[in-house]
Amino acid sequence: MAGGGGTTIDAPSSTPPPASPAGVDVAVGMRSVRKTYGDVVAVDDLTLMVNAGEFFTLLGPSGSGKTTTLRVIAGFEPADSGSVELHGVDVTRSPPYQRPVNTVFQDYALFPHMSVIDNVAYGLRVRGVGKRERHAQAADALKMVRLPDIGARRPVQLSGGQRQRVALARALVNRPRVLLLDEPLGALDLKLRQEMQLELLRVQREVGITFIYVTHDQEEALTMSDRIAVLNHGHIEQIGEPIAVYERPQTAFVAGFIGVSNLIERDGHRVTVRPEKIHMLTGDQPSPPGANVEAGRIRDVVYAGVLTRFTVDLDAGGELVVARQNTEAPVLSADGPGTPVRLAWRPDQAFAVSQGQDQDPGPGEG
């Protein structure tokens, strides 16, 4: 690439997920777990450590193995090989009812013939807790999710967001050490989903329970998580804090799946750079000192409200997408299709990536 300072890139990492820091309680430990359904390998040699009190997200497309991983932790599916530990106790062969976990599903799974208070108290009833005590604990759980006055209602009388919070209260009332959430907000509209993201975060911070959250929504994962594991074909492609996974993707799959990213090949390297990191220069505008610079022509312009996206065909081959914030009213006619431009970005904003697993998730469990 042309540029005053050359191209500086970070090499992709192939190291396994790091162990938890010394002194940190591991809530969930999975070692070399494999799970198949016939000829389909849903989870393949997966090793994962989740720290106590974390909001940890399993992120990936349909068929990546994230839901299967959750079900193996819960005990709903037995692992073909490998081990599962919960707070240091091997539960690999333990049934679900012997594991200190609860699960919140996307479809809520509330009993329609029961009142809200009885739905929330159901797990306590199964454990033999007396009616007065279980109703008191259920009422406390409803207060926790900010629904203190709906105990007498039936699920059909609630909105989608209220039903989801009731399902959360029912899971929390048993005080599990780990709460598993399988796409719990998937059935909600965008605005309500965003509100519930904040609500889930608030509850998790208040109760301090380890949350393991499954989603295919990248923005949801970036917004809510302490750490993210990106899954593809039953493998972990990358694991880390949201800012690290987004800003420094290690594989082509992670770069392409989380947000919008550009992949180009130069000098035998596959390099990724995010659209918002690229400056688009026209005419005699000077290039930033030391920047990588590529010349090309605008092919497409898409106005998307808060920003405008430009697709640029590069003279040296390939294409880059550039995102320009609409801080002022955009003037699309000045930078329309066919306009010659130069694209510039700092060397430390481009990273070499490995190929990783095949980007097509293919058939299999989520």
Q: Give the 3-state secondary structure of residue 172.
A: helix
Contact of 168 with 155, CB cutoff 8 Å: no
Instruction: Determine the longest span between alpha carbons in the chain, in angstroms.
Output: 79
Terminal C-alpha separation, the chain? 39
Confidence (pLDDT) at 16: 45
Instruction: Check residue 39 and give left, alpha or beta (phi > 0: left; psi -120 to 50: alpha).
Output: alpha
Structure tokens at 333: 């006619």
The number of beta carbons lying within 10 Å of the beta carbon of residue 191 is 9
Q: What are phi and psi of 234, to 5 degrees?
A: 75, 5
Q: Give the 3-state secondary structure of residue 106.
A: coil
Residue type, 261: S
C-alpha 172/C-alpha 78 separation (Å) is: 24
Confidence (pLDDT) at 279: 92
Confidence (pLDDT) at 109: 82
Strand order in the sheet with 262-266: 262-266, 269-273, 351-352
Residue type, 62: S
pTM of the model: 0.83
Q: Give the 3-state secondary structure of residue 156.
A: helix
The number of beta carbons lying within 10 Å of the beta carbon of residue 248 is 17
Confidence (pLDDT) at 259: 80
Contact of 66 with 366, CB cutoff 8 Å: yes
pLDDT tens, residue order, the chain (366 aa): 444 433 444 444 444 444 555 556 999 999 999 999 999 999 999 999 999 999 999 999 999 999 999 999 999 999 999 999 999 999 999 999 899 999 998 787 889 999 999 999 998 998 889 999 999 999 999 998 889 989 999 999 998 888 988 999 999 998 899 999 999 888 788 888 888 888 889 999 999 999 999 999 999 999 999 999 999 999 999 999 999 999 989 998 998 898 888 888 888 888 889 999 999 998 888 888 899 999 999 999 998 888 899 999 999 999 999 998 888 665 555 678 889 999 999 999 888 888 665 554 443 446
C-alpha 168/C-alpha 12 separation (Å) is: 39
- Hey, CA dihedral for 182, 185, 188, 190, is it positive or negative? negative
C-alpha 213/C-alpha 224 separation (Å) is: 9
- Hey, CA dihedral for 196, 202, 206, 208, is it positive or negative? positive
CATH numbers and ranges of domains, the chain: 2-9+254-352 (2.40.50.100), 26-252 (3.40.50.300)
C-alpha 35/C-alpha 70 separation (Å) is: 12
Nearest one of 71, 77, 100 to 181, comparing CA atoms: 71
Confidence (pLDDT) at 333: 53
